[in-house]
Amino acid sequence: MHVAITKDRTIPDTINKEAPMTSRLRRLLCTVLMLCLTLGAASAGAATSVPLASTNDVLASQQSQDARERIHQVLARDDVRQQLELQGVDPSEVEDRVAALSDAEAQHMADQLDQMPAGASVIGVLFAVFVILLVTDILGLTDVYPFTR
Amino acid sequence: MRSFVSSARLAGALSLVVWLTACASAPELDHSVTATLPQRQLLEDVPFHPQRDYQCGPATLAMVLNHAGVDVGVDQLIPEIYVPSRKGSFQPEMLAASRRHGRIPFTLAPRFASLLEEVDAGRAVVVLQNLSLPAFPLWHFAVVNGYDLDSEEVLLRTGVTRQDATDFGRFDATWQRSERWAFVALTPGELPVTISPDVAIQATSDFERVQGPEQSLPAWQALVDRFPEEAMGHFALANAYHATGQPQAAIDAWRSAVARDPSLAPAWLNLGLTLASQGDDEEAREALRRAASLDGPWQQSAREALNEQQGGHR
Nearest chain A Cα to B92, which residue?
A105
Task: Kindly state the helix (H) or strand (E) to which residue A71 belongs, with its residue range.
Answer: helix A67-86
The domains of chain A are located at 2-112, 119-149
Please list every residue in chain A whose beta carbon sits closer than 8 Å to the beta carbon of residue B82.
89
| Range of weakest confidence among B18-22, B96-100, B143-147, B260-264 | B18-22
Quick one: B278 exposed, middle or buried, by C-beta within 10 A (0-12, 13-18, 19+)? middle
Contact A96 B178 (CB under 8 A): no
Q: Is the CATH number of domain B197-311 3.50.50.60?
A: no
In the A/B pair of chains, how many CB contacts fall below 8 A?
193
Q: What angle do CA A131, B26, B123 make, to 5 degrees?
A: 105
Contact B209 A56 (CB under 8 A): yes
- Numbered ranges of CATH 1.25.40.10 in chain B: 197-311
C-alpha–C-alpha distance, residues B221 and B88, integer Å: 36
Please list every residue in chain A whose beta carbon sits closer than 8 Å to the beta carbon of residue B166.
143
Q: What is the CA radius of gyration of chain B?
A: 25
Q: What is the mean pLDDT of residues B12-20?
A: 48
Residue A105: C-alpha distances to residues A37, A43, A90, A102, B212 (Å): 23, 31, 20, 5, 18
Over the stretch B43-55, which tens digit does the pLDDT of each residue have? Answer: 999 999 998 877 8
Please list every residue in chain B whose beta carbon sits closer than 8 Å to the beta carbon of residue A87.
83-86
**A29: closest CA of chain B, how far (Å):** 23
Contact A118 B90 (CB under 8 A): yes
Best mutation target among A55, A65, A130 (most B Cβ atoms within 10 Å) is A55
Over the stretch B194-251, which tens digit does the pLDDT of each residue have? Answer: 999 999 999 999 999 999 999 999 999 999 999 999 999 999 999 999 999 999 999 9
Residue A85 has pLDDT above 80, yes or no: yes
**B26-186 topology per CATH:** Cathepsin B; Chain A (3.90.70)
Residue B8 has pLDDT above 70, yes or no: no
B215 CA to centre of own chain: 17
By Cβ distance, the residue of A55, A109, A119 closest to B89 is A119
By Cβ distance, the residue of B92, B93, B304 closest to A45 is B304
Please list every residue in chain A whose beta carbon sits closer than 8 Å to the beta carbon of residue B239.
52, 54-55
Residue A11 has pLDDT above 70, yes or no: no
Over the stretch B74-97, which tens digit does the pLDDT of each residue have? Answer: 999 999 999 998 889 999 999 999
For chain B, the first-to-last Cα distance in angstroms comes to 90
- Numbered ranges of CATH 3.90.70.10 in chain B: 26-186
Contact B163, B157 (CB under 8 A): yes
Task: Kindly state the helix (H) or strand (E) to which residue A62 belongs, with its residue range.
Answer: helix A55-62
**B89: closest CA of chain A, how far (Å):** 5
Mean pLDDT of chain B: 91
**B307: closest CA of chain A, how far (Å):** 9
Q: What percent of chain B has pLDDT over 70?
A: 90
Residue B269's pLDDT is 97
Contact A93 B270 (CB under 8 A): no
Contact B139 A41 (CB under 8 A): no
> Looking at per-residue confidence, does B7 or B248 come out higher?
B248
Helices (H), chain B: 2-24, 31-34, 56-67, 74-81, 91-100, 112-120, 168-175, 197-211, 213-226, 231-243, 247-260, 265-277, 281-292, 299-311
Best mutation target among A1, A52, A70, A96 (most B Cβ atoms within 10 Å) is A52
**A21: closest CA of chain B, how far (Å):** 27
By Cβ distance, the residue of A118, A120, A123 closest to B136 is A123
